[in-house]
């Protein structure tokens, strides 16, 4: 979703600014802003389904106004339209940061969990493994393997808790940039 929304926002802003000198730029810009609002409502509904939040309602697609001209003017000048664009631009770099952090932590923790198994296989003679280059690890390979296993065992749930915290941060960010006026 982050790739799509980032691409949508950057392409829409570039296209709108590029066509602003032509008469076609006004309808393209308004259509882009309407699509931004539609996409923000869809993102809110997606987050509600993922998080299970039934409390907050998504705002209306178009701002309230007495006529089409007033509604379109409110669309252009309303803060939520522009904060939705900001959210879409932030979606990709935040998603990359979340993914990189969580995959790295999960790989390290699972690797640390595998050290005791590798040490058992090495002790049985089925695996030849160098557990490091430091003198202490070579002098105490069983203790080193046990400590690595315990560290990995502690790091796995911490990684999942970090994922939960990052998910809650994303919901908080969406509520502040997509909902509030």
Q: Are 171 and 47 in contact (CB under 8 A)?
A: yes
pLDDT digits 0-9 by tens, 53-100: 655 566 666 767 687 788 788 778 888 888 889 999 998 999 999 999
pLDDT at 94: 93
pLDDT digits 0-9 by tens, 109-119: 998 888 888 87
3-state SS, residue 71: helix
More confident residue, 168 or 137: 168
31, 69, 83, 159 from 17: Cα distances, Å: 13, 21, 18, 42
- Find how far residue 171's CA is from the centre of its chain: 10
Predicted model pTM: 0.74
Evaluate if residue 136 carries a pLDDT over 60.
Answer: no
Two tokens, residue 118: 């590798």
More confident residue, 56 or 38: 38
Domain spans, the chain: 2-179
More confident residue, 49 or 58: 49
pLDDT at 104: 95
pLDDT at 101: 95
Q: Is the dihedral of CA 105, 107, 112, 113 positive or negative?
A: positive
């Amino acid at each position: 979703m982050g790739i799509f929304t980032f691409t949508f926002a950057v392409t829409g802003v570039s296209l709108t600014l590029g066509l602003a000198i032509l008469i076609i730029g006004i309808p393209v810009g308004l259509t882009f802003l309407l699509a931004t609002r539609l996409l923000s409502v869809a993102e809110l509904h997606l987050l509600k389904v993922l998080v299970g939040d039934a409390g907050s309602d998504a705002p209306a697609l178009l701002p309230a106004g007495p006529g089409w001209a007033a509604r379109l003017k409110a669309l252009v000048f309303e803060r939520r339209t522009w904060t939705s664009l900001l959210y879409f631009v932030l979606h990709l770099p935040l998603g990359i940061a979340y993914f990189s952090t969580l995959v790295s932590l999960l790989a390290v923790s699972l690797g640390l969990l595998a050290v005791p198994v590798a040490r058992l296989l090495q002790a049985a003679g089925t695996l030849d493994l160098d557990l490091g280059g430091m003198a202490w690890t070579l002098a105490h390979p069983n203790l080193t393997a046990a400590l690595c296993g315990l560290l990995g065992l502690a790091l796995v749930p911490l990684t999942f808790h970090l994922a939960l915290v990052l998910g809650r941060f994303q919901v908080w960010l969406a509520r502040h940039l997509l909902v509030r006026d």
